[in-house]
Amino acid sequence: MSRYLAAVAFCICAILPFFRGGAPKASPSKRAEAPQNSLKLVLRAQRSSPSDLEISGNLAGQPSGAKYYLSRDDLLRLHQVNFSVSGDPNFSGPTKVKGVELASLARALAVEGEKALIVAVCDDWYRAYYSQQYRQLHQPVLVLELDGQPPEGWPKSKNGLAMGPYLITHPNFVPSSKTLSQEEEAQVPWGVIRLEFHDEQTEFTPISPRSRNAADAAVQSGYTVARQNCLRCHGPESQEHLKGKLTWDGIALFASQAPQNFAAYVRNPKALSKEAQMPGNPNYDDATIAALIAYFRTFVSPAQR
């Protein structure tokens, strides 16, 4: 599904006013070049073009949290994979793709190498998460050309927006798992402006179940569904920018204090708020909804339930 139709994003403005905002920090004006890596990429501290890809996180040989940029020309000099993709909902039909495998970028840039968790961040702060396991199963690719065209020649999204400067797709995505009624979904974001490289355990610790019953089957199932879907638009308070209006704790309060409304909203958001932008999830059965509620309740104290 596309990033607007795939995310389970609990944007419930009419229910709980947990808003976040703030503009991204300005990039440093001083130019600095990092040592060359195995792909001979030069990381620059200053953006030179709107098409530059921002790189941040745990970068090999760089200070923690440093932010750099890769030019499109640099990316085009790397080893490219070419294939024709069908079934990606971002495209109207079979499309020829040329790009760089995310696995190659992890090996070249991340402190953790192949074990790194890659987070693709879009221009509206939507996020897609690529673990080592996901990359091994699905070979996601950072797209540089579609049907031989640069981003300026790419088709528009279903919302009529430009899909550049970068997007991510797969040669042939086949779901590898299913949690209750939720089958694994392809992570196919467009409008990608940044790749972050993280330690997977450290990145997911803030959203790991917290209570004594964290190991319960329902809680773990809810965690899996929330991590795959809710995390695309929401996150912990520590996250600087979020696409969704609620933080993780805000969702937890809603799920815990109004479980029936939570269930109704997840399945049909516009039934509770005409302003809702998230798509409904009528395929979520009772067991999946119950698992999500059980998981989010681990973030709420007994006094708040």
For the residues 266-288, what does the mean pLDDT come to? 87
Burial class (CB in 10 A: 0-12, 13-18, 19+), 84: exposed
Q: How far apart are CA 179 and CA 118, in angstroms?
A: 22
Q: Which residue has the higher pLDDT, 20 or 138?
A: 138
Report residue 156 as tokens: 């528009």
Percent residues over pLDDT 90 in the chain: 73
Residue 270: per-residue pLDDT: 86
pLDDT in tens, 82-113: 999 999 999 999 999 999 999 999 999 999 99
- What's the pTM value of the predicted model, to 2 decimals? 0.85
Residue 17: per-residue pLDDT: 38
Q: What is the mean pLDDT of the chain?
A: 87
pLDDT in tens, 230-239: 999 999 988 8
Residue 303: per-residue pLDDT: 67
Burial class (CB in 10 A: 0-12, 13-18, 19+), 211: middle
Our CA dihedral for 83, 87, 92, 97, rounded to 10 degrees, sits at -20
Q: Are 98 and 107 in contact (CB under 8 A)?
A: no
Percent residues over pLDDT 70 in the chain: 86
